[in-house]
Amino acid sequence: VQQHDWAIERLQWQQENARQVAQIGHLTAINATVVAANQELAQANLALTGLHEDVLVRNEELQAATEEIKSLNEELQATNEELETLNEEQEATLEELRATNDDLLVRSLEVQALAAEREQQQRASEAQAAELHAILGSISDAVLVLAPFGEVRFTNATYATLFGMLGLERAADDNGVALPFDALPQQRARQGRPFRMTFTLPTTAGERRYYEATGAPIWVGEAREGSVITLRDITERNLRRLQEDFLALASHELRSPLTSLKAAAQMLARRIGSTDERAGTLLTTILRQLERLQQLIADLVDSSRLQHGKLRLTLLPVDLPELVAQTIAAFALGVPQPPIVIAGPPEGTLLIAGDAVRLEQILTNLLTNASKYAAGSPQIVVRLRQVDQDAEMQVADQGPGIAAADLPQLFQRFFQVQAEAETARTGLGLGLFLTHELVVAHGGHILVSSQVGQGTTFTMRFPLLSPPEPPPL
């Protein structure tokens, strides 16, 4: 039994040993596997270490790349911000360009409008210049336009006709003494001040003509661009002034002798007129001619007073029909033919404010004119009537009439209508001039109508006086 147990125990030990050997073999195989695995792990570890190092390098490179990318992102962001700023600036610039373009378009339209306006102004200026040249060329006064230092810029045709090539260098005073150089019109114009002067120039016939020069500077802003001188031949006016002065002096000096002659003739008429018929007739003729001379002198004096504004009227209420009747009655005593008829006397009165003496003179002048130029007229008709707020008086004859060409000059001083009979051309030609001026001085007006072969009518109107207000009850 002990052997059996030992054999069993031996068998168990052998089995255990075999089992352990198998385990050892298995463990050895496992160990070899583990060793191989460790070797592989070591190799893998080495590979991992290399990979780790490579990863670390890559990581560092990646980190560097990341930093670079971050830096690039920052730069890109900054660039984007700059681009945004530039974009905004570009948009602002575009807006400015658009505004500038619109402004340029507006300016272009304005320039076109200004160009059109300037062209129009230039055409208008050329038209005005042409018109001015035409006007200056057609006026009767001579025109001389000078530059600031006296150079001639323009002269019209009248200047060339009056002064020719010699110009104004021969200008002299009224006595024919040559004017000093500084006193010549063109030299006075150079002084840049307005002036007016008279001078004379000799003619080829040896006579002297009188001229009036009026100069004025031409200002453009504050710059003087020259001067203009207008020159007028005043020889006739000067002669007329001398004539007026002479007539005024002569009328003044003749009044006293005529008064003495008339007084002496009246005294002789009283003494011998009744005893010597022939002497009486001669004295009557002398008195009539003296009265005519006195009337001519009175006309000269009145004309001079009217010309110088010295004629004074004494205006009082005048009943015109009554004054007309009295004047015609007095006139008919001296001039019985042609007969004078008052036609259409108004009912009541025609009351005007007038100077009775001057109103009588007006009617007497017209009656004298009619009896002189229409002596063959069957009658002279004086018509009176009221027209609106005026008193109208007409003096009409049926004589030869007046030519239409003479009517505009009829009321001028010293004008006389050409009459067929030389006996009609007596007097000074002042009657109708005085009549016109006296009518105007009364606040009225006078018109004349005439047809050759049918007669002449003078129509006057005077403002009526307002009737006095009735006294209060």
CATH number, domain at 148? 3.30.450.20
447 pLDDT band (50/70/90 cuts)?
very high
Same domain, 327 and 426: yes
Same domain, 280 and 179: no
Considering 183, 201, 233, which residue would you say is the last residue of a domain? 233
Between 42 and 429, the higher pLDDT residue:
42
> Position of tokens 């830096």?
71
Query: Between these two residues, 1 and 270, which has the higher pLDDT value?
Result: 270
pLDDT number for residue 304: 61
Residues 172, 157: one domain?
Answer: yes
Instruction: Inform me whether the pLDDT recorded for 81 exceeds 90.
Output: no
Encode pLDDT of 21-66 as tens digits.
Answer: 787 887 788 888 878 878 887 887 888 787 778 878 878 888 888 8
Mean pLDDT value of segment 229-251: 69
Note the pLDDT of residue 446: 92
Is 90 a residue whose pLDDT tops 60?
yes
- Is the residue at 221 inside a domain? yes
Is residue 215 included in any domain, yes or no? yes
Assess contact for 340 and 367: CB atoms under 8 A.
yes
pLDDT of residue 462: 94
Residue scoring higher pLDDT (136 or 246): 136
pLDDT band at 292 (very low <50, low <70, confident <90, very high): low
pLDDT score of 424:
46
Confidence of residue 460 (pLDDT cuts 50, 70, 90): very high
Same domain, 69 and 88: yes
59 and 74 share one domain: yes
Residue 361 has pLDDT above 70, yes or no: yes
* pLDDT for 422: 44
Instruction: Assign residue 269 the CATH number of its domain.
Output: 1.10.287.130
Length of the chain equals: 473
How many structural domains comprise the chain?
4
The answer to whether 318 touches 353, Cβ cutoff 8 Å, is yes
Please give the Cα distance from 373 to 400 (Å, whole number): 8
Lowest mean pLDDT: which of 36-50, 139-153, 232-246, 343-357? Answer: 232-246
Of 91-105, 335-349, 366-380, which gets the smallest average pLDDT? 335-349
Q: What is the mean pLDDT of residues 101-114?
A: 88
Least confident window among 146-155, 174-183, 273-282, 320-329: 273-282
5 part of a folded domain = no
Whether 447 is covered by a domain: the verdict is yes
Among 125, 155, 176, give the residue marking a domain's end: 125
Q: Residue 6: is it exposed, middle or buried by C-beta count within 10 angstroms (0-12/13-18/19+)?
A: exposed
- Please check whether residue 251 is in contact with residue 299, taking contact to mean a CB–CB distance below 8 angstroms: no
Domain limits for position 40: 20-125
Say which residues have a Cβ less than 8 Å from residue 162's Cβ, sequence separation at least 6: 142, 211, 231, 233
Contacts of 331-337 with C-beta under 8 Å, sequence gap 24+, read 331/363, 331/364, 331/367, 331/368, 335/367, 335/368, 335/371, 337/371, 337/375
pLDDT classification of 241: cutoffs 50, 70, 90: low
* Position 12 in a domain: no
Q: Lowest-confidence range among 20-24, 192-196, 309-313, 444-448?
A: 309-313
Domain assignment present for 415: yes
Q: 24-33, 261-270, 441-450 — which is least confidently predicted?
A: 261-270
Verify that 292 and 167 share a domain, yes or no.
no
The confidence band for 392, taking pLDDT boundaries of 50, 70 and 90, is very high
Please count the other Cβ atoms lying within 10 Å of the Cβ belonging to residue 258. 16
Are 344 and 455 within one domain? yes
- On the question of pLDDT at 246 being above 70, the answer is no
Residue 145 near residue 130 (C-beta atoms within 8 A):
no
Rounded CA-CA distance 144/229 in Å is: 5
**pLDDT tens digits, one per residue of 133-172:** 777 767 778 888 888 888 888 888 888 888 876 678 888 8
What is the rounded average pLDDT for all residues in the chain? Answer: 80
Residue 55 domain flag: yes
Is residue 65 located within the same domain as residue 174? no
Alpha carbons 415 and 88: distance in angstroms, whole number: 94
Is residue 8 included in any domain, yes or no? no
By mean pLDDT, which of 259-268, 357-366, 398-407 is the weakest?
259-268
Report the amino acid identity of residue 125.
S
Same domain, 32 and 117: yes
Give residue 302's pLDDT: 63
What pLDDT score was predicted for residue 459? 94
At 238 the pLDDT is 59
Angle among Cα 451, 455, 460 to the nearest 5 degrees reads: 95
Tell me, yes or no, whether 251 and 370 share the same domain: no
Q: What per-residue confidence (pLDDT) applies to 254?
A: 61
331 in the same domain as 280: no
Q: Which of 208, 233, 258 is the last residue of a domain?
A: 233
Confidence class for position 383, pLDDT limits 50, 70, 90: very high
Q: What is the pLDDT of residues 163-216, one digit of tens each?
A: 876 678 888 887 788 899 888 898 888 888 899 998 988 877 777 888 889 999
User: Is the pLDDT assigned to residue 290 strictly greater than 70?
Assistant: no
Q: What is the pLDDT of residue 423?
A: 44
Whether residues 292 and 420 share a domain: the answer is: no
Strand partners, 142: 231
